[in-house]
A and B are shown apart, each in its own frame.
Chain A
Amino acid sequence: MKSKLQNVNIGFVPLVDCAVLAVAREKGIAQAHGLDLSLSKEVSWANIRDKVFLGYLDGAHMLAPMALAGNLSLMPNSCDIVAPFVLGRNGNAITVSHDLYDAMSAHTQGLLESWDLSVTGAALKAVIEARKNAGQPVLRFGMVFPFSCHNYHLRYWLAACGIDPDVDVHLQVVPPPFMDQYLEQGRLDGFCVGEPWNSLAVAQDIGVIIASTSQIWPQSPEKLLGVRKNWCEANPKALKALLCAMKEAADWAGNAENFDELAHILSDHQYLDVPKEIILKALSGDLSLKKGEPSRHVDGFMSLHGDSCPHLSAAFWLTRQMERWGQIQSDMIVETALKDAFSTQTYLDCIGGEFSDINEAALFDIA
C-alpha cells in the first residue's frame, strides 16, 4: 500500500524565482518524495512573514535578508527560521522611466551598449546634480521591502557612484504589482524589482532597463526557502524530503532545455499570470532593455540551480548592509542567528555534497 503523502504548506510571491517551488509541485517531484506540496500565492512579504509566524504556512519563498532579519528580531511577528535552500540567485534589474533615461542619455550616449555600472552611475549622478542645481525635487526609486537585496544592491550601487541613497534620492517601498503603474503615472522615476516586472515595463514601453543586479553582486542569494524552525524540528523527514525535492526541481528548472515548459507553467494564473514570452526573457537572460531595440544577453542574470546551498559569508555581507544603512547596530549581529538562517549544515545533512565557501564572486567596484 502506498504511504500517505505528508502535507506541506509553502507560500510564494508571484515572481519568476518561485520557479523551483512550482516545478516541484507541477512536475510531480514533491509527490515522488512523499509530499503533498500546497503552494499559496501571497500578495506581500509581510503576509509571508506573518503567515509563517502564525502557522498558516510551514515555510515560504523568502527574500534572503528577510530570513536574517527575522532571526535577528529586526521585524515584528518573527519566529526562528531555517532557510537551508537558495531558490534563486539574482534576477532583479533596475528600470527607469523614459524621462530619466533620456536625461541620462543626454549626458552619456550609448548607455545600453556600454552596459557598464560605472558609466550608468555617472550619468545618473550627473542628472541628480543638474536637478539639484535647478531646484527640482529628488528622484524617487521604488524597491520591494526594507530587508531585501533590492534595497541593498540599489544602495550599494548608488553609494559607489557617489550618490547618497538617503539624501540624493528618495527610496520607497512599492509592492511589485504597482511598480509599472507608478512609473507610468510619474510617481516613481525608477525601481529595482524582480522579474517579470522589469520586462513587463519594457514590453509596455513604460521604462528602460539600465542595469541588472547580477552586475552589482554576481551570484547574490536572492530568495531562500525559509521554514519555521519548530516545524523543521518536528518534521525532520519531511524537511529532508522537501529539500531533496527542491534540489531535483532546481536541476530541472535550471536546464535551458526546459525553459519553454517552465515558462508555460509559470504563465498560468495560479502562478504569475503573465505571457510566457515575458517569463522566458528572465529564464534565458536575453533581456529586452528598451522597446524596439534588440535584446541583450545578460550572463548570470538569474540562476535557479547550481549552487543552492546558502553561504554564511553572504549572510555576513547582507548584515553589513543592514548595519551600513542603520537597520541594525553591529553588536546586534549574532553569528548563531545567521547560521540558523543561512543553514549550510541543514542543506548538507539533507542533500549531502561538499561545501566550500571560497570562490566568492567579486562585488562591483567603481571603474
Chain B
Amino acid sequence: MDAELKILVIDENETRAAILLEGLCASGLTCVEWLKDTRGLSERIFRLDPDVILIDLEDPNRDVLEQMFQVSREVRRPIAMFVDSSDSQSISQAVDAGVSAYIVDGLKSERVRSIVEMTVSRFNAFSKLHKELAEAKNALQDRKVLERAKGILMTQRGIGEGEAYALLRKTAMNKGQKISDIASSIVTASEILG
C-alpha cells in the first residue's frame, strides 16, 4: 500500500481502533493517526490534513465532517465519502460492516480501495470478537444466576440440588421460556420479597 498516504482514524472505541491501526500499520502505512475524542474535530483535521479519514458509519459525528465539505477555509483540500460506484458489492460490504471512508479530492480510487477493504475486514473482526465476548459474559452471568436460583429453591423448598434444577427445567418447559429467564425471575422475586 501507499506508505506516504496520511490516514486518520476517528473512533471512540479503543479496542476497535487498536485492531484497525494494527492492520493499517502491518500493511505498510506509516502515517496513521487516531482521534479518540472528537473535541475540536475540524481544527484537528485541518492540522493533520489527512488523505483518508476512516470513521464508523454509525458515528453521529459524521454530520460534523459534513460541515467541512462546506466550510472550505477550515480544510485545505475538499474531502468526500469514498463510494466506489463501479463496485456495488464493496459498497454493501462497507455499509454492512459499518465503515465509512472519506478521501481527499483527486485521490485515485484504486489507491484507497485496499485501505477500505482492510478497514472492513478489521471492523468485521472486531464485531465478531465483541459478539463472542458478550456471549461469554452472558453465559457466565446466566450460570451465576442459575446457581443463585437453585440455592433459593433449595432453602425455600427444602429440596436437593438435582431436584431444584429439575424444577427450574420443568417450569421453563411449561412456560416456554429459557431456564436462565426463570432463574432470573426467581432471583429478582427473592430480592424483592426478601
- A residues whose Cβ falls under 8 Å from a Cβ of B: 43-47, 50-51, 53-54, 56, 75-77, 144-146, 172-178, 187, 327
Contact = CB atoms under 8 A, between A and B. Distances in A.
A46 B166 CA distance: 53
A76 B91 CA distance: 15
B64 A174 contact: yes
Contacts of B39: 187
B185 interface: no
B70 A146 contact: yes
Contact of A145 (B59, B66, B71, B95): B66
B80 A173 contact: no
Given A43-B59, A178-B60, 7 more contacts: A43-B60, A44-B62, A46-B63, A47-B57, A76-B81, A145-B63, A173-B66
Contacts of A56: 95
Interface of B: 39, 42, 57-67, 69-71, 80-81, 83, 91-92, 95, 100
A154 to B, nearest CB: 14
A77 B69 CA distance: 12
B83 A172 contact: no
A47 B63 CA distance: 9
B39 to A, nearest CB: 7
Nearest to A76: B80
Nearest to A325: B70
Contact of B58 (A43, A53, A176): A43
Given A173-B67, A327-B70, A44 B60 contact: yes
A173 B64 contact: yes
A172 B60 contact: no
A176 B64 CA distance: 11
24 contacts: A43-B60, A44-B61, A44-B62, A45-B66, A46-B62, A46-B63, A47-B62, A51-B95, A53-B83, A54-B83, A54-B91, A76-B80, A77-B80, A145-B63, A145-B66, A146-B66, A146-B69, A146-B71, A173-B63, A173-B67, A175-B60, A175-B63, A177-B60, A187-B39
B73 to A, nearest CB: 10
Nearest to A46: B62
B81 A175 contact: no
Contacts of A177: 60
Nearest to B64: A173
B65 A46 contact: yes
In the A-B complex, list the 7 residue pairs whose CB atoms are closest, starting with the nearest. A175-B60, A46-B62, A173-B67, A76-B80, A146-B70, A44-B63, A43-B60
Nearest to A45: B63
A77 B58 CA distance: 17
Contacts of A176: 60
Contact of A172 (B42, B57, B81, B91): B42
Given A76-B69, A146-B67, A173-B66, A54 B95 contact: yes
Instruction: Among B63, B64, B65, find the residue whose CB has the most chain A CB atoms closer than 10 A.
Output: B63
Instruction: Among B58, B66, B80, B95, find the residue whose CB has the most chain A CB atoms closer than 10 A.
Output: B66
Contacts of B91: 54
A176 B70 CA distance: 19
A47 B57 CA distance: 7
A56 B96 CA distance: 10
B63 A144 contact: yes
Instruction: Among B39, B61, B70, B81, find the residue whose CB has the most chain A CB atoms closer than 10 A.
Output: B70
Nearest to A327: B70
Nearest to A182: B39
B66 A46 contact: yes
A45 B61 CA distance: 10
Contacts of A77: 80-81, 83
A77 B81 CA distance: 8
Contacts of B100: 50
B117 to A, nearest CB: 17
Contacts of B80: 76-77
Contacts of A50: 57, 81, 83, 100
